[in-house]
Each structure stands twice: as structure tokens, then as C-alpha cells.
A and B are shown apart, each in its own frame.
Chain A
Amino acid sequence: MSASAIPTVPTPLTGEQAEAMAQRHIKKHHVAIVLLHWFNAISWLLELSTGAGLIVSPYYRFAPMWYLQMMEGVFGSRANMLRFHIAVGLTWTAVFLVYAIFGFRNYLRIEVLQNEIGLDRDDMRWLRVRTLLLLGRTKDPLPPQGVYNAGQKLFALLVYTMVPLIMLTGLTMTFHWFGTAFVAWAMVLHFFAVGMVVSGLMIHVYMGAVFPEEKPAFYSMITGVVDELYAYRHHFKWWRSVKIQQQAWRAELTSKEEAIGTDEKPHQDPRTDTTPLISRPQSGDRR
């Protein structure tokens, strides 16, 4: 069986095919990524709420007075709030530093970065069509996408540039690095970088928690898996690469089985193939 049975463009599915694909799961996120994502989410929630409560100068303040007073009441004093903000920020930075040190072999490779932030021609078209769809101005199908869509890639690009800036400026302010002039610049750059991330974060949260078509992506950040139908429709290029990989594994297995004289199973179109390569999680499964 060659890769020819795997479609190169997303073709319409029969009801039967869609049914079968909705039952099968593909692993999308490593458990470490799932845990890191929620750790990051909680850190951001705490840092944004305390950070907004710490900015009291009329030149920089944006939170209403009642919010500042409420946050001061919650923490007892603004000094305590600042200590908390610094403690969470340092923990957050330390965790990502550990992740970068131990994970860079796996995650900081060019193919991985290409998946995460490399925008190709399909991605540029996707951005246009997606915007027009949201405005109800087109009925065109969305161009096929890799493991992350172009919107996610843009957000990743923003986060990858702004988060190191947030960490460095935060450390500069905490430890008074390089003196007063640097601290003064660090402060406004901290506000700027956080503001930029927040502008993307609003879309990220909306798409994950509110937008109906991306709900499987939200659940994948809990279970680590998505169903094949979602992968086929939203991340076709990724679905295809996973299928090619699975066929290669299967061919390897088959050749081993032939060597020990087992009967060869006939191959099928992967869209109606019901062989559970990664089985659907059952209740009571230990994961």
C-alpha cells in the first residue's frame, strides 16, 4: 500500500467516513504541554489581575479606582500585592527556563518552529478567508492548514517575541539590573509587551472558549487528543502527515510480521480504516 490512498486535498466525506473518523483520535499535545499550558494560563490570570492593580500613577493607570481598592483589600496592602506579583512572575519565568533547558532539543528545532510560526502561502490565504468568513462576506472553504492554523501561528509569533521581553523587563525591575535608566525603560516595555500579548490573548481565549467550531481544540488542551474528523477538516495538512507516518509504521510492522509468517491484512483508505491506532480513551483508563 502506497501513500496514494491518502488524499492530497480535503475531499468531501461520506456520512459513513465522517462517522468513522469522529470515533478515532489523534494525539495532538504531550501531557507536559497540557500541564504547561494551564500553569501558564493561571500565571497570566494572576499576573494580569495583580499587575493592573499595581499601576496607580495617573500617567499609566487604566484600571478603575474601585478595582485598585478591591485588589488592595484582597492583599491587605499594595506592597503585599507587589510581592505576590513578583513571586508568581519569578516562578513562571523559572518554569519556562527549565522547559527551555530540558526541552530545546525537542521543541527548538527548525521543523517544529516551521509548524508553529512559519507562515506559508496557504496560511496567508487562510487569514484572508477566515476574516471574510467572520464578517460573513464569503462562502469559500478555508485553505488546508498544518498542525497550527495561521491565526495560531500569528499569536505564537507575537508571544515568542513578547514573552522574553516581559521576563527580562520583569527581572530588571525586580533586581534593579543595570541601574535606574534601564528600570525606567523596562517598566514601559513591560506594559507594552503585556498589552500586545493581551490583544492576541483575547482572540485566543475567544476562539478556545466561545467559538463553536474550535471546541475540539479546547478539549485537546485537556485530553491531549483530537478526533480525526476535526483534524481532517481544520488541520488537513497535519492529518495527512500523521496518516503517512502511521502507514510507514504499519508497513514496518507488516514486514516484521511477514518475516515471522503472519497473514497480511488488506490496507484500506485511511478515512474508513477503523483500526484503532490510538484508541479512544475509555472511562476508567489510567492515563
Chain B
Amino acid sequence: MPRYAMVIDQERCVGCQSCTVACKSEWEVPNGSARTKVRQTGTVGQFPKLSTAFYVSQCNHCDRPTCVPACPTGATYQDQNGVVRVNRDLCIGCGSCVAACPYGARYINAEIGKVDKCDFCASRLSRGLQPACVATCPAHAKIFGDLEDSSSDVFQFVYRGAAKRMETANIAIGPNVYYAGKPEHAELALASFAPLPPRTLAPGKVWSSLLNKFVFLAVGATFLGQAVAFFHQLSTGEKQFEE
């Protein structure tokens, strides 16, 4: 079973947004949303020592995804090959996973009322093709492959090179999109676009702190009351109504 991963070489990325456009046209992403896009950190430092970096954001297909347990219906799941996917037939568009993702990789597609995100172009992979963004990137800054295959480019980058995961001390859930290039590029990107702690939506908080207690109390109380009544009935024996 392959274990898919992606490496983004920040030294090669020029921020042309070709990957963004390829992805949007491949997946009919509505205006204002994106499965992947290139973000710029802006210019930092003092002249003449200026620096900047491009950060390609997308779903990281994490080893321990926070979006999967957050999904109430199980529409979000992880394939054996590590790709985190969405089953649209089960998605109700509640947005729980959007809040749970530290990388902001998910959005609600308002046209269909369901969540959408990068799935490494799963349908293209099954046809033996590369993801649309990888096939399009003019600088070959996006490298896609199988971490189980020691001859693959991603294997070389991840295990032989210095490709880094976009993780902090607090949020380390094993993202499978790695960043290669100059170390200061990755540091700059991490400083500007650090992963955020997974959030629970207000309804979810109200449920776990209040509503579920109501329900379990009410159901438990009636169940206990009934058990008492039933054993009372058994102990006194059935009295025929007609007497």
C-alpha cells in the first residue's frame, strides 16, 4: 500500500498561482474558495537584507487528522494510502471539520452545501496521473510520490534531504506535505502561517457541556424510574384490572 506525500520546494516556487488555477478548473471550485493556493509572507527584514517566501497551502493529509473525528457522520475519512477524503453522499455541510483543521485547508462549497478540499486528485491518481497542480507547476516546485517507494523523489527529499513538516511544538499531527528549500523560507512561512489549534464550533461546545447532560439525565432518570416500577410490578404480581 503506498503512502502518498507531497514536497513543495520553496526555492523553486515563484508564486505564479498556476497550481491554484489548475486545481480550480479541475475541481470546479467556486469563486472565493480554493483547495490549494500560494500565499506570500510579504517582505521582511532591513534593506538590503530583505527576504520573502511563498507558502503553498492545501490539505496536508495528516497522519493523525483532527478533521476525521470531528466529522459527525463519518463523511471525512482517511484512505489506507493516507489520503484524507470526503464522501459527499454523507456530508451534511455542518462545518465541524472546517473548524477542526489547523491549516485552514477546508471550505464549504456553497453551491452544493458540502465541504470540499484537496484529495491529492484521487480520481487522477486512480488513472495513473499526477495531481493537477503537480502536472501544471512550470518550475517543478511541487513533487508528488510514494513515501514507501525508496526510489521516489519524495522519499529522497523527506528521508535524505531536509524537507520539513509545517508543525509547531503544540500542533504536531503529522502533516504529509513537506517543505524543502532554504531553511529560512520554511521558518518564515511557519512564522506567518503557523497551524492554528483545532477549534470546536459553538454548537459542539454547547452539546458537550450542556445538552448531552440533559439528554443522558432525562433518559437515565426515566429508565431508572421504569426499572423501579417494573420490579415493583414483578414483586407484587399482576393484578387483573377487572378484579
Binding site for B on A (CB under 8 A): 18, 22, 54-60, 78-79, 82-83, 134-136, 173, 175-176, 179-181, 183-185, 187-189, 191-192, 195-196, 198-200, 202-203, 206, 210-213, 215-216, 229-230, 233
Contacts and interface: CB of A to CB of B under 8 A. Distances in A.
Contacts of A134: 225, 228-229, 232
B206 interface: yes
Given A134-B232, A173-B92, A206-B230, A188 B74 contact: no
Interface stretch (B11-19, B39-47, B49-57, B210-218): B210-218
Nearest to A213: B241
B207 A60 contact: yes
Contacts of B233: 210-212
Interface in B162-193: none
Interface stretch (B2-10, B30-38, B93-101, B126-134): B93-101
- Pairs of residues from A and B, 3 with the lowest C-beta to C-beta distance, nearest first: A176-B113, A195-B215, A79-B89
B122 interface: no
A179 B113 CA distance: 7
B239 interface: yes
B222 interface: yes
B221 A199 contact: yes
A199 B223 CA distance: 8
Nearest to A56: B74
A15 to B, nearest CB: 9
22 contacts: A57-B73, A57-B96, A59-B204, A59-B208, A78-B90, A82-B90, A83-B89, A136-B236, A176-B113, A180-B95, A187-B94, A187-B203, A188-B206, A192-B207, A196-B215, A196-B218, A199-B218, A199-B221, A200-B222, A212-B239, A213-B239, A213-B241
B191 to A, nearest CB: 30
A203 B226 CA distance: 7
Contacts of B232: 134-136
Contacts of A79: 87, 89-90
Contact of A230 (B215, B229, B238, B241): B241
User: For this complex, into which size category does the number of interface residues on chain B fall?
Assistant: 35 or more
Interface of B: 69-74, 87, 89-90, 92-96, 98, 108, 110, 113-114, 200-204, 206-208, 211-212, 214-216, 218-219, 221-223, 225-226, 228-230, 232-233, 236, 238-243
Majority secondary structure of chain A interface residues (helix, strand, loop or mixed): helix
Nearest to A203: B222
A184 B91 CA distance: 12
Nearest to B110: A179
A183 B215 contact: no
Nearest to A202: B222
A184 B239 contact: no
A59 B222 contact: no
Contacts of A173: 92, 94
B158 to A, nearest CB: 30
A97 B222 CA distance: 30
Given A187-B203, A195-B214, A210-B230, A82 B73 contact: yes
A45 B169 CA distance: 48
